[in-house]
Chain A
Amino acid sequence: MHAAAKLIQPSENEPAHSSIQNRVAALRELLHRKYPTPELRETGILPTSFEAFDGSQGGLKQGAVTEVVGPTSSGSLFIEIMLRVLGREQAFGAVVQAGASFNPQDVSSAALRRLLWVRCPRPLTAVKAVDLLLRDGNLRVLLLDLQFAPQRELQRIPASTWHRFQRLIEASGMVFVILSSRPMIEGAKTRIVIRQRWSLGAMRQRRRGLMQTLAPQVFDRRDFAALLADEKRSA
């Protein structure tokens, strides 16, 4: 109480705006000292074996939200990449879809045995399903596919949902990836943007080759904010 009282009283010599800034900074420091937030735990990195995705950090961050943004092909190829990772790691994962666009006939039956598929009618239901799986914490990888969800319905998801997911995933240490067609997750630790478009020639190429030719841009939270600001400025 004593420290807080001091903060409220401005010094006589200080200009008004700087005194407010100083006091806010002091208040923040005081709150931080009194209620220290637990340090974010990043339990590790899960490599995808694709250099372009792994980038400088060496793979996907466990215990953090990753967002993959791009056209529909980016989502389907990324799901396949994660299925390969599950096979290599001898682990289990889940894909929660708003809609049911996943085509299992494109994937080997051995890979499918490691994947739990949850088909949800609406994005809000998918969010609830993800909440259950994050709290469960048994799976290594969780994909939330919102690429086919209508934008109008996506806007109904409260922004606080993603922050709650961030808190949940810190505890479970899972790899949690959200597939979307445009950036929408504010608190995503890593954002992978794929802008690549394909012609029909791709349908004659080996899929592994297609994955290797993907050229994703990997941003961490701050880089992406700067990029968005640059894009807005140039626009």
Chain B
Amino acid sequence: MFAVLLLPQFRLQAVLRFRETIPNCLLAVTDEDGRICELTAAASEQGVRADMPAVQGLARCSSLQLLPRAKTTEQVLQHALLELADSLSPEIESTGEGCCTLDLRRAPATDWNSWSETVLKRAEALELKVALGVAPNPDLAFLAARRADAFLVVQAPTAFLAQLAVTEIDPPPYLQALLRDWGIHTLGQFTSLPRGELADRLGPEMDRLWQRASGQTERLLRLVRPAEEFAESYEFEHEVETIEPLIFLLRRFLDQLTLRLGSAHRVAARMVLTLTLDDGKAHQHVFTIPTPTADSDVLFRVLHTHLEDLRLIAHPTALRLQIEPVHPDHQQLRFFESPLRDPHRFGETLARLGALVGAENVGVVELEDSHRPDAFRLVAPQFHQFAPTVDHDEECLAIGLPLRRYRPHLPATVRVVRQQPVEIQSSEVSGRVVDLLGPYRASGEWWECEQWGVEEWDVEIEGRGLYRLHQEPSGWFIDGCYDAELR
């Protein structure tokens, strides 16, 4: 058997996806040429027709709402349809816009009615309005899908075809007119005519049409493998001024995307949120998920945290969310390591901390491979992926008190006698130097243009405490204190 998954009124579905519409709304989709390509039944009742110029449509129905084609959403819909088909059969064909054919000949014999009901439920969960046709060959399955309210299983092809109008098989206009003149209106009447004589008189085109009408055509499917792309997008009619519409749509996006991830046995490792702005630029943010998951609540919290603190210079006009999938990680929990209780929550907390103090002020220190003072960078912590290592007791070798740095270091006026500092004056600390250690000289990167060199002193300032000074060409500075009673 073959099955065809068809999205009736594909362009209209794409436009109305994630859009709350009132029933019987007067709505039409226009293409680039300004012609109506698809419309609602209510609009059709008002005399509006497909292929009509938009202006003519408005003349027939003044309250008609015209919306342009949503091409990105159409791509998303087509992809979702192919994914659904791929989860049902390994051999699928992307037959056309909003149409997909499945080869089910290798599927075990089953009750096709209950199978169809299951497929429709899955499509409904993905917010796809699908018509499903099941038949012994692809073309027949397509016809069944076109005629189906929800699904139609063709068990007796001849009886099914006999009742169909000739126009259902899309004959060339001249043949259609000829058959109409002959009084042939249904496929049953058409196939009752002798095939050989028709072919002799009207040529091979008529022969092919007869074959289709009798449901005897056999063709090979052009097999495709859908790319693993999990994305949803939406174009707003007007600029968005608050985050509520974004939050609402992202929630629905995630519900859909996690369902699709679940059917593909994947989990989300990264999310890419793109907001197209009305000034032509775009805001893009990549979220790395601490522990890849397909839990929509967890993913939504990550997005929500980001949007809560987001400040944009322009209004968003379109929204796109893409998920990068990975295979679920089956790692064993470590026995001695105490991992994070809830890595997702920790990820959210990090995002909130980043919003509070700036992302550059939160992280784990990574020392740079340099002897330059204060050379380090802050990187995002990876506690959930922490590789257990034996922590060598390097601190055993550490000497002296740890330094408390002033950032930026304090400029100081230093009186020097015999090349040694003897008195210091600065905004933070002033006094006579009673003891000192140094100088400790260091330099580096002389092979680069950013060469550096410092001369450091550890000093004890009378009545104040222990401090570190350094001298560079621009003057003296206090780096920090080792021990001081702060006032």
Contacts and interface: CB of A to CB of B under 8 A. Distances in A.
Interface of A: 71-73, 75-77, 79-80, 83-84, 87, 89-92, 99-121, 125, 128-129, 132-133, 135-140, 147-148, 181, 197-200, 202-208, 210
B346 A198 contact: no
Interface in B338-379: 338, 340-343, 345-346, 348-349, 352-353, 356-357, 361-367, 373-376, 378
Interface residues of B, number: 63
Nearest to A101: B404
A129 B346 CA distance: 13
Interface string B421-463: 0000000000000011100000000000000000000111000
Nearest to B484: A72
B481 interface: yes
B22 interface: no
Contacts of B400: 202-205, 207, 210
A80 B364 contact: no
Given A117-B365, A129-B353, A197-B483, A103 B342 contact: no
Nearest to B485: A71
Interface in B458-487: 458-460, 465-466, 480-486
A210 B395 CA distance: 12
A91 to B, nearest CB: 5
A110 B374 contact: no
Interface string B396-440: 111111111111000000000000000000000000000111000
A104 B367 contact: yes
Contacts of A137: 341-342, 345
B391 A206 contact: no
Given A138-B349, A197-B483, A108 B362 contact: no
Nearest to B436: A200
B174 interface: no
B289 to A, nearest CB: 16
Given A111-B395, A198-B482, A198-B483, A76 B401 contact: yes
Contacts of A111: 391, 394-395
A107 B366 CA distance: 11
Contact of B340 (A105, A118, A138): A138
B394 A147 contact: no
28 contacts: A73-B483, A76-B402, A100-B361, A101-B480, A102-B405, A103-B404, A103-B405, A106-B398, A116-B363, A118-B353, A119-B357, A125-B356, A129-B357, A136-B346, A138-B342, A138-B343, A138-B349, A138-B383, A147-B486, A181-B485, A198-B401, A198-B466, A199-B460, A200-B459, A207-B399, A207-B400, A207-B402, A210-B400
